[in-house]
Homo-oligomer: A and B are copies of this chain.
Amino acid sequence: MRKLKTSRQPEILDAALAIADERGLDALSMRAVAERIGVTPMALYGYFRNKDELLDGLVGRLLTQLAPAEPGGSWQDRLASVAWATRRVAKEHPAVFPLLLFRASVTPDGVRVVDAIYQALLEAGVPEPEVPRIERLVSTFVLGFAVSEVNGRFSGASNESRTRRGGPDAPAHRVLAEHLMVDDWDAEFAADLADLMRIIRPV
């Protein structure tokens, strides 16, 4: 359990994020990061105990960008703002973003985001015992949507193979054939958020 240096941590994370953005997660090796900052791979181990901790640092970076900028506005505005910010970050860093789904966000930045959502839900009138669950419901959906969109789980299935999908054991696909094409994911995301708002505050 050696003590880690912190001096060049930001520089290292910058380099790692750049590599992932430019060439994907598979290209993000300790050796590539080291080369980018002009150092031997082993030098990195003075700043991060191993590659996994470096990835945690990257997740921390993304969380910083999710933190709500303007604390003003209605609770609806603030929830929407976090949701759209999440989706924006996913598009900026598609390779690293999915890691958010795999690591508990107990960093100060992560807590700040969750706390902002808690506050919005409290203001919305969600009963206190329900607030943490609703927060998990909403953020699980938002993260899942952003990951799906950015990794082609949505688009891959909806373009060419869509027509062929109306096969023998897919009767509902045939019925819905004319509605299977999607070209406006912004609109879909907005409609989803509106639906979730109805869970938060029944009309």
Measuring CB to CB, which residues of chain A are less than 8 angstroms from any residue of chain B?
98, 101-106, 108, 110-112, 114-116, 118-119, 122, 128-129, 131-134, 136-137, 140-141, 143-145, 147-148, 151-157, 161, 165, 167, 169-173, 175-176, 179-180, 182, 188, 191-192, 195-196, 198-199, 202
Q: B residues within 8 A CB of A148?
A: 101, 136, 140, 143
CB distance from A144 to the nearest CB of B (A): 3
Q: How far is the CB of A119 from chain B (nearest CB, A)?
A: 5
CB distance from A140 to the nearest CB of B (A): 4
Inter-chain CA distance A173–B108, complex, in Å, is 12
Q: Quick one: copies of this chain in the complex?
A: 2
Q: How far is the CA of A180 from the CA of B115 in the complex (A)?
A: 12
Contact assessment for A104 and B156 in the assembled complex, using a CB-CB cutoff below 8 Å = yes
B155 near A118 (CB under 8 angstroms)?
no
Residue of B nearest to A165 (CB): B111
In addition to A131-B176, A143-B148, 11 A-B residue pairs with Cβ atoms within 8 Å of each other are A102-B151, A102-B152, A102-B153, A104-B157, A106-B161, A112-B169, A118-B173, A133-B182, A134-B195, A140-B148, A195-B199
A155 touches B101 (CB 8 A): no
Query: Is B128 within 8 A of A170, CB to CB?
Result: no
Closest to A154 in B: B136
Choose among B119, B154, B199 the residue that contacts A198 (Cβ–Cβ < 8 A).
B199
Q: List 6 A-B contacts (CB under 8 A).
A: A118-B172, A118-B173, A118-B175, A132-B182, A144-B144, A199-B199
Q: Do B167 and A108 have beta carbons less than 8 Å apart? A: yes
User: Once bound together, how far apart are the Cα atoms of A114 and B40, in whole Å?
Assistant: 49
